[in-house]
Chain A
Amino acid sequence: MSDVTLTLRNLSTGFKMGGRVMNVVREVDLEVRKGEMLGLIGESGSGKTVTGMSILRLLPENAVTEADTLDFLGIDLLKLSTEQFREMRGTRLAMVFQDPVGAFNPAKKISWHLKQVFERAGTKSPAHAERAKNWRASAIKLLADVGIPHGANVMRQYPHQLSGGMLQRTLIALVLVFEPELIVADEPTTNLDNIVERQILRLFRDLQKRLDCAFLYVTHDMTIAAVLCDRIAVMYAGSIVEIGPTKQIFADPKHPYTQGLLASALALDTKTERLQEIPGELPSPGKLPPGCLFEPRCKFAKPECRAKEPAMVDVGGERHVRCVLYGHG
């Protein structure tokens, strides 16, 4: 498995609230491989964003992240000092944010943002230094690469003068200055309109192919995962409940939650008479049910589901499910 870029084992993240830690991500195991797009699917509050931010150590100070393994291309990320980790950020690990408008310094022009990143790059290698010297030309070329033909004009603008789609392209350009080996994208198209969303999705796919990097794509939208991702991991209330290749999961979802999500998402793609519902509501992180977290909403629930949270079961074909219907691991 030498092509694995990032390995997470038993990652838990919580927030300190008045003396105690409230976990929002629990026992997450993940691998993101070189050249693949892994979709991390979940609803709001499922812990998908926190998982992504934990990997890059971008959470606020009251966050507590613990893991058995956090390995990035043989580097133990847990052992790195704050300063060593900062050196990795941007250069080898990068992030694309949900709200492109909010991700830019509102007081500075686009050119300033690009210049800063190029200047930081300039200190890394002679090739980068060369680019940093001609940063303006390099920036225009980079902007053209992400689908902004008139880069020189865009660079003269302030962030609030550009559209969301344009800003998201620019944000991607900033990430590309270093050609990172792992990119985490957190719902990067949620704030965009349908048509622009498609353009940006296509841009992501083309980029990922060109860079041949590992890509973790966080989203709540099953249909986006379907068009974009090679594999998907489904999160529910802080845990991963199912993981496997996209095509197989869409053809044959195993976990009752995945089944429900897919049923309502895919049913809308054709004219249907009635949508299949998942009854009930998401549990709040303060009051998690005992045993399997999905049990209160599950139509296959059995008494044993309440006893303890089921372990991940290997069901073959690179697929894993956290459900007693498929054995006990």
Chain B
Amino acid sequence: MGFLWYLTIRIGGALATIAAGSFLIFLIMHLAPGDPALAVLGESATTETIAAYRAEHGLDEPVLVQFVIWAKMVLQGDLGKSIALAGKFPISDLLVTRLPNTIFIGLYGLVIALVISLIAGTAAALRQGKLVDTVATGVAVLGISMPDFWFSYVLILFFALSLDWFPSYGFTPPGESLIGAFHSGFLPALAIAAPMAGVFARILRASLVETARREYVTAARSYGFAAPFVFIHYVFRNAIIPFVTVLGLQVRYLLGGVVIIERVFGIAGMGSLIVDGAFARDYPVVQACALTFLAIVLSVNLIVDIVCALLDPRRTR
């Protein structure tokens, strides 16, 4: 019962945020210089055609009314049409081809980062102050200190140009070939994963060390439970709660990395789309992409909240 309440409240909160966020996006785009009518109709448009276009699309209405019109369209799945980037192509069609690639690369990177950080963070915490700890924390700091786009080029230099194990450019969408996607997506995923793994490993280590000091861990030892049992059920079980929480906060950095990495490796995803849209001043595309990114972050936060609530009975009961 308590959990359902919690879920309802969180979903309500996420919906409210996305509503407010979409308004913010709309407002920013509205403030951006340039007349959308002119952008669509081109330089040759006459005063009459522009006026007609503005009237038809409600561009003379107050911002709020325009926002409501746009929001209604978005709710019906119509994100408008691209004005510069892809002719008058519907943006929703663009997203359908782009979004899976971004999600694939993002999840791929996330999984790599999780695997590395779980191993490194746990090892460092278990051997606190020992060589393993020093090496792991040292590498982690290096990881968070390097720009991921630079690391991509280092990876390209070694694994693509020198060893030729992976392609240096281009990406096979998972829809075409899953194996191809894993192969061609490995370097970009690794580039995104490296700084993330550094951040995650540090958080996990700190959380484990902190939890190990709790009295319930001493209490568990006093019952004579074996060390691995205590570590798994007492230390690790409670340490992952803050770990998952902080993990959720990292999505906004993770997606920031995706934007650049996609351009480096020429992946046709959301990141390259929004950047290309920005250069082409294709506002509807940028607007739609920003909204999608917002939705992704909020969904991930929602999932993280739910996972935390399941892990930590104190949050809901």
Q: Are A58 and B224 in contact (CB under 8 A)?
A: no
Q: Are A99 and B215 in contact (CB under 8 A)?
A: yes
Q: Are A104 and B224 in contact (CB under 8 A)?
A: no
Q: Are B317 and A104 in contact (CB under 8 A)?
A: no
Considering only residues 77-122 of chain B, those with a C-beta below 8 Å from chain A are none
User: Of the candidates A98, A102, A107, A174, which one forms a contact with B223 in the assembled complex, judged by CB atoms under 8 Å apart?
Assistant: A174
The 4 tightest CB contacts between A and B, nearest first, are A90-B224, A89-B224, A102-B215, A90-B223
Instruction: Tell me if A94 is interfacial: C-beta within 8 Å of chain B.
Output: yes
Q: Residue among A99, A105, A109, A174 with the most chain B CB within 10 A? A: A105
Which residues of A are interface residues toward B (Cβ below 8 A)? 53, 56, 58, 60, 86-91, 94-95, 97-99, 102-109, 116-117, 120, 158, 160-161, 171, 174
Residue of A nearest to B313 (CB): A158
User: Of the candidates B213, B216, B226, which one forms a contact with A105 in the assembled complex, judged by CB atoms under 8 Å apart?
Assistant: B216
Which residues of B are interface residues toward A (Cβ below 8 A)? 213-216, 218-227, 233-234, 237-238, 241, 311-314, 317
Residue of B nearest to A95 (CB): B222
Q: Are A97 and B215 in contact (CB under 8 A)?
A: yes
Residue of A nearest to B215 (CB): A102
Q: Are A120 and B225 in contact (CB under 8 A)?
A: yes
Q: Are A104 and B216 in contact (CB under 8 A)?
A: yes
| B residues in contact with A91, CB < 8 Å | 224
Q: Are A107 and B219 in contact (CB under 8 A)?
A: no
Q: Is the interface of B mostly helix, strand, loop or mixed?
A: helix
- Pairs A–B under 8 Å by Cβ, sample size 26: A53-B218, A58-B222, A86-B227, A87-B224, A88-B224, A90-B222, A94-B222, A95-B219, A97-B218, A97-B219, A97-B222, A99-B215, A102-B215, A104-B216, A105-B216, A105-B234, A106-B216, A107-B311, A107-B313, A108-B233, A116-B223, A120-B224, A120-B225, A158-B314, A160-B313, A174-B223
Give CA–CA (A95, B311) in the complex, Å. 28
| A residues in contact with B221, CB < 8 Å | 58, 86, 89
| A residues in contact with B241, CB < 8 Å | 107
Q: Residue among B213, B224, B225, B311 with the most chain A CB within 10 A? A: B224
Q: What is the CB-to-nearest-CB distance from A173 to chain B, in angstroms, rounded to a whole number?
A: 12
Q: Are A58 and B238 in contact (CB under 8 A)?
A: no
| B residues in contact with A158, CB < 8 Å | 313-314, 317
A sample of 18 more A-B contacts (CB under 8 A), given A107-B312, A120-B223, A160-B314, is A53-B218, A58-B218, A58-B222, A90-B222, A90-B223, A94-B222, A95-B219, A98-B215, A102-B215, A103-B215, A106-B313, A108-B233, A108-B237, A116-B225, A158-B314, A158-B317, A171-B219, A174-B223
Q: Are B220 and A89 in contact (CB under 8 A)?
A: no
| A residues in contact with B314, CB < 8 Å | 106, 158, 160
Give CA–CA (A94, B214) in the complex, Å. 18
Q: What is the CB-to-nearest-CB distance from B194 to chain A, in angstroms, rounded to a whole number?
A: 31
| A residues in contact with B218, CB < 8 Å | 53, 58, 97
Residue of B nearest to A57 (CB): B221
Q: Are A86 and B224 in contact (CB under 8 A)?
A: yes
User: Of the candidates A53, A60, A103, A120, which one forms a contact with B216 in the assembled complex, judged by CB atoms under 8 Å apart?
Assistant: A103
Give CA–CA (A109, B233) in the complex, Å. 12
Give CA–CA (A56, B223) in the complex, Å. 10
Q: Are A105 and B238 in contact (CB under 8 A)?
A: yes
| A residues in contact with B238, CB < 8 Å | 105-107
